[in-house]
Amino acid sequence: AQKITQTQPGMFVQEKEAVTLDCTYDTSDPSYGLFWYKQPSSGEMIFLIYQGSYDQQNATEGRYSLNFQKARKSANLVISASQLGDSAMYFCAMRDGNMNSGYSTLTFGKGTMLLVSP
Amino acid sequence: GAVVSQHPSRVICKSGTSVKIECRSLDFQATTMFWYRQFPKQSLMLMATSNEGSKATYEQGVEKDKFLINHASLTLSTLTVTSAHPEDSSFYICSARGSPYEQYFGPGTRLTVT
């Protein structure tokens, strides 16, 4: 079974609107971390936001927030007030197991391409 | 966020030659570094994990003799693609972990083997 599922291959949003990118995950470990990365056409992977499984509150970083619903195993990324520069591929990723272990690795979803129109 | 550099950003080499890609964490010490490969319009595929001072752990299906990884210091890891072939052409991305809750990526290296 896939550990990380991103069901939206592509999303369109108008500038200044909010958009939600979906991500569901699968793990039996009680300790895990969820990450979102942005990959523009240049190829670099830009870290956006992190949510720990034991965090009580949803993570926020500027215009990015993570809607963490633990019982549903979902970790959707919400981008508020979209900008043209937000057009990129977005990847959801998870680390589970021993978070302190050097061998605990990130598993990525297939990504969602977001296009922001004027 | 922390900065990870990768060099070169692009390289073209002839079939049969070897190519070395460097990955450096510029403002933090990375006990663990990772190497990923990404094909066009696909997700990142983990190739190997390297911990400073020990041998790399390769993912299933990744040839360790072909993709040599060295993690000589807390700020430098190298990936050498030996005897490169056209099917090795890809986008290679390194990543460095500072804390368990942070993982930063380099800008990637586009390898083309002719």
Position B38 pLDDT exceeds 90: yes
Chain A to chain B, count of Cβ pairs less than 8 Å apart?
58
User: Looking at beta carbons, which pairs linking B49-52 to residues 24 or more positions away fall under 8 Å?
Assistant: B49/A102, B49/A103, B49/A105, B50/B77, B51/A102, B51/A103
Position A86 pLDDT exceeds 80: yes
Answer for the pair B54, B47: CB distance below 8 angstroms, yes or no: no
Cα dihedral: A63, A18, A73, B50 (round 10): -50
C-beta atoms of B43 and A109 within 8 A: yes
Query: Which residues, 6 or more positions from B56, have their beta carbon under 8 angstroms from its beta carbon?
Result: B48, B49, B50, B64, B69, B71
pLDDT band (50, 70, 90) for residue A39: very high
**Nearest by CB to A44, which of B49, B101, B107?**
B107
pLDDT score, position B54: 82
Tens-digit pLDDT profile for residues A90-104: 999 998 876 666 667
Contacts of A109 in chain B (CB under 8 A): 43
Beta strands in chain A (DSSP E): 4-5, 10-14, 19-21, 24-25, 32-39, 46-52, 60-61, 64-69, 74-79, 88-96, 107-108, 112-117
- Mean pLDDT over all residues of chain A? 93
d(CA A4, CA B16): 37
State the nearest Cα–Cα gap between A115 and chain B, in angstroms: 15
pLDDT score, position A2: 64
CA-CA-CA-CA torsion sign (A100, A105, A110, A116): positive
pLDDT score, position B102: 80
Range of weakest confidence among A26-40, A43-57, A70-84, A100-114: A100-114
d(CA A92, CA B104): 14
pLDDT score, position A1: 55
d(CA A10, CA A25): 19
- Mean pLDDT over all residues of chain B? 92
Tens-digit pLDDT profile for residues B84-114: 999 999 999 999 987 777 889 999 999 999 9
**Averaged pLDDT, A17-35:** 94
Chain A residues within 8 Å of chain B (Cβ atoms): 33, 35, 37, 42-47, 50, 52, 91, 95, 99-100, 102-106, 108-111
State the nearest Cα–Cα gap between A13 and chain B, in angstroms: 20
Chain B residues within 8 Å of chain A (Cβ atoms): 1, 31-32, 34, 38, 42-44, 46, 49, 51, 57, 91, 93, 95, 97, 100-108, 110
Name the region of B94 (left: φ>0; alpha: ψ -120 to 50; beta: rest): beta
Name the region of A42 (left: φ>0; alpha: ψ -120 to 50; beta: rest): alpha
State the nearest Cα–Cα gap between A68 and chain B, in angstroms: 16
C-beta atoms of B1 and A47 within 8 A: yes
% of chain B residues with pLDDT over 70: 99
pLDDT score, position A12: 97
